[in-house]
Copies of this chain bind each other. A is one copy, B any other.
Amino acid sequence: MNMATSDLPLPASGVLRDGTHLLPIRVYYEDTDAGGIVYHATYLRFAERARTEMLRAIGVDLIRLRDDHGLVFVVRRGEVDYQRAARLDDMLMVQSDLVELGGATATIAQVIRRLTPAQDLGEELVTFRAHVACMQTSGRAGRLPPDVRARMKTLVKTSHSTTPSRSK
C-alpha cells in the first residue's frame, strides 16, 4: 500500500482517507499470550475498536444510536485469517473498509498490518471480515436510521477488495 511515511503518526482515533479508515494500535502485555504472540481473540478486539472509530469518523455515535434510537450494532458472523503473528510492543495498523451495506446490515473488511521501522505498512498479519447487523436493544430486528445509513453509504467501496493497493 502506498502510504507516505509523512502521514504518521496518526491520532489515537485514527484517520479516514478516501473512505478507508486507519487505526494505529500498540500491542501491550494484555494482548499477548504465553506463546509469545498476540492471543488470537485479541485481534477481534482490535477490529472492533477500528469499526467504532470508523463510525465516529463519519459522525455516527454508538451511545446516541443506543440512547436515542434504541439500536445497537452486533456482529452476526466473522471470518478471520491468521497469516503472521503480531508480538509485544509491535505498532499495528488496522485498515477498515465498508464493502457492503444493506438496510440493517453491513460488511466491513479489515486488515491488520505491522508498521515497519520506517513507518511503512508491512505485510498482512490478520484479516477479519465482520458481518454486522443493526438490532433493537430488545433483541428484535432493527433498521439503520436514514441519516446513519446515508453517512455509512459514503464509505461503501465499489470494489470489495480488502487490499486497495491491488485494486488500483
A to B CB contacts below 8 Å, 19 in the list: A9-B11, A12-B24, A13-B26, A28-B52, A29-B34, A29-B39, A30-B33, A30-B49, A33-B33, A34-B37, A35-B74, A40-B74, A41-B48, A44-B44, A74-B82, A77-B79, A78-B79, A78-B80, A80-B80
A2-34 CB mask vs B (1 if < 8 Å, else 0) is 000000011111000000000010101110111
A46-66 CB mask vs B (1 if < 8 Å, else 0) is 001100100000000111000
The answer, yes or no, to whether A151 is at the interface (CB within 8 Å) is no
The answer, yes or no, to whether A88 is at the interface (CB within 8 Å) is yes
Number of interface residues of A (CB under 8 A): 44
A83-108 CB mask vs B (1 if < 8 Å, else 0) is 00101110000000000000000000
Interface residues of A (CB under 8 A from B): 9-13, 24, 26, 28-30, 32-37, 39-42, 44-45, 48-49, 52, 61-63, 72, 74-82, 85, 87-89, 137, 139
Contacts of A81 in B (CB 8 A): 76-77
**Cβ of B45 and Cβ of A30 under 8 Å apart?**
yes
**Cβ of A40 and Cβ of B75 under 8 Å apart?**
yes
Chain A binding site: helix, strand, loop or mixed by DSSP? mixed
**Cβ of A44 and Cβ of B45 under 8 Å apart?**
no
Q: Which of A63, A89, A139 has the most CB of B within 10 A?
A: A89
